[in-house]
Amino acid sequence: MPTIRFRSSYDYSASRLGIEVPITLAAKGREVRLLAKVDTGASFCIFARAYAEQLGVEVESGSPVRVGTVTGAFDAYGHPITMSCLGWELETTVYFAGAEEFNRNVVGRDGWLSHFRLGLIDADARLLLSHYDDE
């Protein structure tokens, strides 16, 4: 039977809706800290516009994408960012929502999950994480 080892274990709050992890975004000498939901079905990492503004990132200057969800679609803009999570730092592209009223933060497949091996034990509210290349 194969054995999978994880370098990090994170206990997320079982009382919250969804699985949230602490994220730090950094750009232009600034950083912001937030909680983001882990969404294995999301194509991208998407954050509220307010965080881009706190980082000094001009949202609409990024690469545009139209994101579809079960409740509709919205515009987002991709920017290269340094993202840290649970001890790992990544140079990656994240997307910021164009609309100011968008208030969700999600780490998805491209930009976050593609870098890691992920384990979940939801009954214990525990997330296990290792970099994809870790032995």
Domains along the chain? 21-131 (2.40.70.10)
Average pLDDT of the chain to the nearest whole number = 93
Q: Which of 56, 55, 76 is nearest to 64 (CA)?
A: 76
pLDDT at 4: 83
Say if strands 30-38 and 88-97 run parallel, antiparallel, or are unpaired.
unpaired
Mind listing the pLDDT tens digit for each residue in 87-113? 999 999 999 999 999 999 999 999 999
pLDDT at 70: 80
Q: Residue 1: pLDDT above 90?
A: no
